[in-house]
Amino acid sequence: MGLKRKILELHKKREEVLKGGGDKAIEKQAAMGKLTARERIISLLDPDSFHEYDLFVEHEARDFDMEKKVLHGDGVIIGTGTIYGAPVCIFAQDFTVAGGSLGMMHARKITKIMDHSLKLKVPLIGINDSGGARIQEGVNSLAGYGEIFFRNTLSSGVIPQISVVLGPCAGGAVYSPALTDFVFVVDKISKMFITGPEVIKTVIGEEISMEGLGGAKVQSEISGNAHFYAKSEAECFEQIKKLVSFIPWNNIKKAKAYEPKEPKSEYKVSEIVPGDPRQPYDVRDVIRGVVDDSDFFEIQELWAANIVIGFGRMNGETIGFVANQPLVLAGVLDVDSSDKAARFIRFCDSFNIPIITFVDVPGYLPGVDQEHMGVIRHGAKVLYAYSEATVAKITVILRKAYGGGYIAMSSRHLRADFVFAWPTAEIAVMGPEGAANIIFRKEIVQAEDPEKMRKQKVKEYKEKFANPYVAAARGYVDSVIEPEETRRLILHAIDVSGSKSVFLPQKKHGIPPF
Ligand code: HXC
């Protein structure tokens, strides 16, 4: 056969595979508002940048009449490409081929691209749309998932791993995302669960819809499994691109720097925080008041909103922000907000992203529920994550910094490099009311007018401790600053921290309170 005919034959073979699961399955996919796996990759990556590998891989299953079935590409597409010029490795499961279920060869394709991403030190993006382990392939599909989970863990902290859930994903198809750094979901399209509604009905007799069990809203607002929620696949891909623009390719490189920009004039930090410590405000406006172009990219916006995490740029460089949110539960630390902050701190630390912490925290949330849910263990994650982090850590105390919350929120004692406090800062073991009630209980009870005495003692306590100067006198706070100075001082602190290096005791690894 001459070259021309061989090339024609190649074209024909390619065409055949590109049909995926066939017209009917593709129509069904479109009717659900879903793009096909290939369309998804093309929409996400830079134009003409995608290069596909293992197009002609076929499954090797022989049981349950599987030898009669042709599964194009074995239901998954793998390749490399770029996003805003940054290289990425990518896979997308093709639900039109056997429900994107994971058989042995399907898993081998995914692990091949995972190995590539770790070797090439570039981010991995996984688009998951799969019914989980391919039932007909038995232990081979379980082995496949095991190989994927192992690689997810090996790559953790070396390359960023991004998961996109764009379909009903069950079993292994959700555990791999859970091991990655960021999970994206789309309204009505994404469903994540370990066991589906049918199994639940059989085993415990409960009836629940897929949406109610693990839809996009559930996973973004209630469980916290998802980090980004979008209304459509197009919006989701824009979010992924934006995330990729903020993060580095790997744990050695720094994130790409952009042209520095001043914050927008409408965000004046001096006008955001009310003087009255009981008045709420949106701490995201303080972040917008200091970041370039006031562009703050929030993560897990819908879950544990009493803490805010996300990326912004200062002087063009990526910065991670952690801030208590007085708008929600007065910004207390609790089980979920501790988990949320701790994981983000570890991501920033792994990928050389400086962390700025804005503090306005009344402490850890008291109550039976929280204690029984393990607030001790979960709250300890924040202490651990900040203590362990060796990137530049800059803390600004805006208002309340009470008790364990003060220590946990990147205090000097956990080795913050720079601690600034606004004149409105109150650093104490607890709020003045609670403190006065405890330490002056006898005087208050025995007074002729207990209420008058109580007020007087609260006032005394406030005057003594509800300020930043006691901490500044001990050097726990480096400078008491005017709000307008915040951006300038943070920029300076980042500049002088450029070569920061810290020597930690040698160990295999620590044991965080997981
Ligand atoms: C083989 C599968 C499959 C699977 C779906 N299909 N899941 N084939 N193994 N796990 C096939 C279907 O037979 C069907 O094939 C096609 O994919 C489309 O599936 P439908 O059921 O028609 O689609 P839909 O109604 O949208 O429902 C999707 C679904 C459902 C919710 C995902 O298919 C489902 O519940 N599947 C099983 C989920 C599951 O329990 N997986 C195992 C998880 S255990 P045809 O030929 O008819 O088009 C696991 C182990 C790892 O993953 C655990 C690690 C910790």
d(CA 459, CA 406): 21
Model confidence pLDDT, tens digit, residues 396-443: 999 999 999 999 999 999 999 999 999 999 998 888 888 888 888 998
- Residues 484-497 pLDDT 10s: 999 999 999 999 99
202 located within any domain: yes
Average pLDDT over residues 165-170: 94
Task: Flag whether 256 is in a domain.
Answer: no
> Does the residue 260 lie in any domain?
no
pLDDT of amino acid 63: 82
pLDDT of residue 339 exceeding 80:
yes
Atom of ligand 1 at shortest range from CA of 98: 17
Question: pLDDT tier at 327 (50, 70, 90 boundaries)?
Answer: very high
Kindly tell me if the per-residue pLDDT of 67 is higher than 90: no
Residues 100 and 137 in one domain: yes
Q: pLDDT over 70 for what percent of the chain?
A: 100
- Is residue 261 in some structural domain? no
- Contacts of residue 381, defined as CB under 8 A and 6 or more positions apart, other chains included, come to 338, 339, 342, 343, 512, 513, 514
- Atom 55 of ligand 1 has which residue's CA nearest to it? 172
Q: What is the pLDDT of residues 195-244, one digit of tens each?
A: 888 889 999 999 999 999 999 999 999 999 999 999 999 999 999 999 99
Q: Could you tell me if 454 and 479 lie in one domain?
A: no
Residues 460 and 477 in one domain: no
Q: Which atom of ligand 1 is nearest to the CA of 32?
A: 26
Cα 231 to ligand 1 centroid, rounded to whole Å: 25
Helix (H) or strand (E) holding 137: none
Same domain, 217 and 127: yes
Are 338 and 378 spatial neighbours (Cβ–Cβ below 8 Å)?
yes
Atom of ligand 1 nearest to the CA of 173: 52
Six-digit token string for 214? 């693990």
Examine the domain organization and report whether 362 and 439 are in the same domain.
no
Mutate to test the pocket of ligand 1, among 28, 69, 71, 101 (most ligand atoms within 8 A of CB): 101
Q: Taking 80 as the threshold, does the pLDDT of residue 38 lie above it?
A: yes
Query: Within its chain, how far is the Cα of 329 from the centroid?
Result: 21
From residue 207, give the alpha-carbon distance in Å to each of 200, 220, 379.
7, 22, 35
- Cα distance between residue 160 and residue 352, in whole Å: 12
Q: What is the DSSP letter of 325?
A: -
Q: Is 412 left (phi over 0), alpha (psi -120 to 50) or beta?
A: alpha
Same domain, 61 and 150: yes
**Nearest atom (ligand 1) to Cα of 195:** 40
Q: How far is it, in rounded angstroms, from Cα 232 to Cα 65?
A: 38
Q: Domain check: are 200 and 72 in the same one?
A: yes
Enumerate residues lining ligand 1, CB below 6 A: 98-99, 101, 131-135, 142, 145, 168, 170-172, 175, 196
Nearest CA to ligand 1 atom 43: 171
C-alpha 29 to ligand 1 mean position (Å): 14
Indicate if 390 and 297 belong to the same structural domain: yes
Write the CATH number for 223. Answer: 3.90.226.10
pLDDT (mean) for 70-89: 95
Q: State the distance from the centre of ligand 1 to the C-alpha of 133, rounded, in angstroms.
A: 8
180 alpha carbon – ligand 1 mean position (Å):
22
Q: Domain check: are 388 and 454 in the same one?
A: no
CA of 130 to the centre of ligand 1 (A): 7
What pLDDT is stored for residue 64 in this prediction? 86
- Determine the distance from the C-alpha atom of residue 94 to the mean position of all C-alpha atoms in its chain, rounded to a whole number: 26
Pairing of strands 317-324, 307-314: antiparallel
Domain boundaries, position 448: 432-465
Average pLDDT, the chain: 95
Q: What's the gap in Å between 172 CA and the centre of ligand 1?
A: 11
Q: Are residues 96 and 181 in the same domain?
A: yes
Distance 241 CA to ligand 1 centre (A): 30
509 inside domain: no
Query: Is residue 511 in a domain?
Result: no
Separation of alpha carbons 71 and 31, rounded Å: 22
Q: pLDDT at position 434, please?
A: 83
Classify residue 24: in a domain, yes or no: yes
Same domain, 280 and 198: no
* Residue 205 within any structural domain of the chain: yes
The tally of domains found in the chain comes to: 3
Q: Please tell me whether residues 292 and 203 are part of one structural domain.
A: no
